Amino acid sequence: MKSQAQLIREILTFSIGIFIVSVCILTFRDYISNIVIGSLTYAYLESLATHFEFLLNDAYSIATKFTNSSLSYYAEMPPSILGSSYELYLNSSKVCARIFTPPRSLCKDSSLPPNLKIVGSFFSSRLMVLKVSKNLTTGEVRIDVFSGSAT
User: Cα separations (Å) of 62 from 5, 43, 50, 59, 133?
Assistant: 84, 29, 18, 5, 11
Strands 104-109 and 86-91: unpaired
Arithmetic mean of pLDDT, 7-12: 86
Q: Does the structure show a pLDDT above 80 at 55?
A: yes
Contact 123, 48 (CB under 8 A): no
The predicted structure's pLDDT at residue 74: 92
pLDDT tier for residue 149 given thresholds of 50, 70 and 90: low
Total structural domains in the chain? 1
The amino acid sitting at 43 is: A
CA distance 45 to 104: 9
Q: Does the structure show a pLDDT above 60 at 150?
A: no
SS3 content of the chain, % helix, strand, coil (to 5): 40, 30, 25
DSSP-derived secondary structure letter, 115: T
Print the domain residue range for 134. 2-147
Give the bridge partners for 95, in sequence order: 90, 108
